[in-house]
Amino acid sequence: MRDVAIIGVGQTKFGQLWDKSLTNLAVEAGVKACLDANIDQKDVEVIYGGTMSGGLFVNQEHIASLLSDFSGFKNIPSIRVEAACASGGLALRQAYIDIASGLHDIAVVGGVEKMTDIGGHSVTKALATAASQEWEAFFGATFPGLYAMIAKLHMHKYKTTEEQLAMCAVKNHKNALNNPFAQFHKKIQVEDVLNSTMVADPLKLFDCSPVSDGAAAVVLASKQKAKELCDAPVWISGSGHATDALSLHDREDITTLKATVEAAKQAYVQAKIGPKDIGCVEVHDCFTIAEICAIEDLGFCKKGEGGRFTEQGNTEIGGRIPVNTSGGLKAKGHPVGATGVAQTIEAVLQLRGEANGRNTNAEIAMMHNIGGSGGTAVVHIFRR
C-alpha cells in the first residue's frame, strides 16, 4: 500500500442556498480544491463523489456522470458513493484505497447535497430512507426520534443531563463564529437550547443539526505526486470503516455505536497511535447526544462519562481534545453527502494552521462520519 496525501481542499458556504443548484455547488467546491492543489483538469485521473439522495432531494440520479460532465472531467472514471450521511467519508476512503493500491495517482473526492429545494416533510421522508423502512420508518420513527431514544437511555444509565447535551451545542456555535463557511454565526447559551422547541424528548430544536445545502472537495495524491505538487501535504495515516445493524432494536446497546468503535480501532491500529495522540477531532454531531456517544466510542473518555467530560471543558478549543472546531454539523451545517468531506477539510486546515481564529496547533487530527443512526461509520486519522 502506498502513502496517500491530501494536497488541496475547497468548500462552499453551507446553508439555505436558494440561488445555487447541486451542480453549481459541486463545481464550486471542486474548482477551489484543484486550485488549492495547483492542478488542472488534465491531472485528475478519477473522481469519487459522495451524495445521499439526489433523486429525492432534486430529482436527479446518475450523479457521477453529471458531476464529471459539469466539472469538465469528461471520459475519466467517476464513482458516486452512497452511505447515507457517511457518503462523503466513505467516498474519501474509497479514493484513499484506490490511490494506495497504485491504480491512480490523483483523485478528486467531493461531497454535495442540495436539501432545501423540497419542504420539511419531504426532507424528513428522504432522510428516513437511511433508517430501516420495515422496522423503523414504517412505524413513524424519524431520526430525531431514534436519537432521542439513545439520549433517554444514556441519561437513564449514566445520569447524563439535558444541560450537558446543550453544552455541546453551545460550544459548537461558539466555534462556528470563526468559520466563514458555517451556516450559523450566532452565539447561544445553555438556556437557549433548553428553551427551544421540543422536537423529540429530550432533544430540542437547538440539539439538532439543520437542513443544509453545500459541497466540499479534496484532492488526494500518491506520495510521489504529492511531493511534486505540494510543499505541505497532509497524510492519511489511518482509515477505518465498519457497519452495524441498521435498526436500533437489533443492537446490544444503543448507547454504543459499535460501528464507530470498530472503525476507530482499525484507524488507530493502522496509524499506530491511540486516542491520547489525537490533537483535534471532527465528530458526527447530527444531534448533541451523537457527540456525547462519539467521544466515548472513539476512546476519548470512558463509556458513560461523555456528558461530564464535556461539562468539564475537555472538548473546548484549548481543552484535552478539541471537538468540532468547525462548528460541527450542529452549527457548520449538515448537507448530508458533503459532511464527511467537510470534516476532512477542517482537519486539514487545523494541521496546516489555517483554521483562523480556531487553530489548535494539532499535529494529528481525526474525522468521524456516521450514516443513519450508526449503521455505517467511517474514521480517518491525518498527520502533518
Residues marked active site are found at 85, 334
| C-alpha–C-alpha distance, residues 324 and 306, integer Å | 15
Phi, psi of 149, rounded to the nearest 5 degrees: -65, -40
Q: What DSSP letter does each residue of 16-76 carry, written as one string? A: --TT--HHHHHHHHHHHHHHHHT--GGG--EEEEE-S-HHHHHS---HHHHHHHHTT-TTS
Pairing of strands 203-204, 234-243: unpaired
| C-alpha–C-alpha distance, residues 186 and 209, integer Å | 14
CA dihedral over 179, 180, 184, 186, signed as positive or negative:
positive
124 SS3 class: helix
- Quote the cell numbers at residue 210: 439543520
Residue given cell 477539510 in the structure block: 345
| C-alpha–C-alpha distance, residues 274 and 183, integer Å | 32
